[in-house]
Chain A
Amino acid sequence: MKEAIKETLEFLKRKKVEYADIRQIHRVTENIEVKNGNIEGISCDEDQGFGIRIIANGAWGFASSSVLSPAEMKRVANKALEIAKASSIIKKELARLSPTEVFEDQYISKYEIDPFKVPLEEKIELLLKATELLRKNDKIKVAEGSMDFHKTEKLFASTEGAFIRQSILESGAGILATAVNGNEVQRRCYPNSHRGDYATRGYEFIQGLNLAENADRVREEAIELLSAPACPDKDTTLIITGSQMALQVHESCGHPTELDRVLGTEVSLAGSSFMTLDKLNKLKYGSGKVSITADATLEGGLGSFGYDDEGVKAQRVELVKNGIFVGYLTSRETARVLNQKSNGTMRAEGWNRIPLIRMTNINLEPGEWELDNLIADTKDGFLLDMNKSWSIDDKRLNFQFGVEAAWEIKDGKKGRMHKNAVYTGITPEFWNSCDAVCNRNHWHVWGLPNCGKGEPMQTMHVAHGAAPARFRNVKVGVSR
Chain B
Amino acid sequence: MIGKEKILEILNSVLKKSEADQSEALYIGGESGLTRYANSYIHQNVSEHNSKVFFRVALGKKIGVCSTNSFKKDDLLKTLSSAQQIASHQRENPDFPGIPDKQKSVKLKTYFKKTADFSPIQRAEIVKNICDEATKQKLTVAGSFSTGQSEIAVLSSHGLSAYQPLTSASINLVAMSDDSSGYAEGLNRDVSLIDFEELTQTAIQKCLDSKKPKGIEPGEYDVILEPAAVGNLLEWLCTIGLGAKQYQEGTGFLCGKMGKKIMSENFTLLDDGTDESGVPFPFDFEGVPKKKVIFIEKGVAKGLVYDSQTAYKDKVKSTGHSLPPPATEGPIPLNLFVRSGDSSLKKMIESLEKGLLVTRFHYINGYLDTKNALMTGMTRDGTFWIENGKVKYGVKNLRFTESMLKAFSNISLISRQRKIAVPWWGDIGAIVTPAMLIKNFKFTGKTEF
Contact = CB atoms under 8 A, between A and B. Distances in A.
Interface stretch (A153-161, A263-271, A408-416, A464-472): A263-271
B153 interface: no
A28 to B, nearest CB: 10
Nearest to B181: A267
A195 B250 CA distance: 20
A80 B46 CA distance: 8
A398 B121 contact: no
Contact of A86 (B32, B45, B328, B397): B45
A354 interface: yes
Nearest to B41: A92
A82 B122 CA distance: 12
A478 B401 contact: yes
B365 A185 contact: no
Interface string B329-372: 00000000000000000000000000000000011111111111
B209 to A, nearest CB: 19
Contact of B251 (A142, A263, A265, A479): A142
Interface stretch (A103-111, A363-371, A389-397, A441-449): A389-397
How many B residues are at the interface, by size bracket? 35 or more
B301 interface: no
Contacts of B303: none
Given A66-B70, A185-B250, A479 B369 contact: yes
Chain B contact residues: helix, strand, loop or mixed: strand
A48 interface: yes
B388 interface: no
B131 interface: yes
B44 A389 contact: no
B35 interface: yes
Given A42-B65, A60-B45, A388-B367, A393 B174 contact: no
A395 B447 contact: yes
B221 interface: no
B64 A42 contact: yes
B33 A83 contact: yes
Nearest to B370: A185
B409 interface: no
Given A42-B326, A178-B251, A394-B363, A92 B124 contact: no
20 contacts: A40-B326, A60-B43, A61-B45, A62-B46, A65-B49, A86-B119, A86-B120, A92-B41, A142-B251, A268-B174, A271-B380, A274-B448, A352-B48, A389-B365, A389-B367, A389-B368, A390-B365, A393-B397, A400-B399, A456-B48
Interface of B: 32-51, 63-70, 75, 79, 82-83, 86, 89-91, 93-95, 119-121, 123-125, 127-128, 131, 140, 142-144, 146, 172-174, 176, 249-251, 256, 325-328, 362-372, 374, 376-378, 380, 397, 399, 401, 424, 444-449
Given A389-B365, A395-B449, 8 more contacts: A44-B86, A87-B42, A92-B41, A180-B249, A268-B144, A398-B447, A420-B368, A478-B401
Q: Which 6 A-B pairs have the closest CB atoms?
A: A41-B326, A86-B120, A398-B447, A92-B41, A43-B65, A86-B124
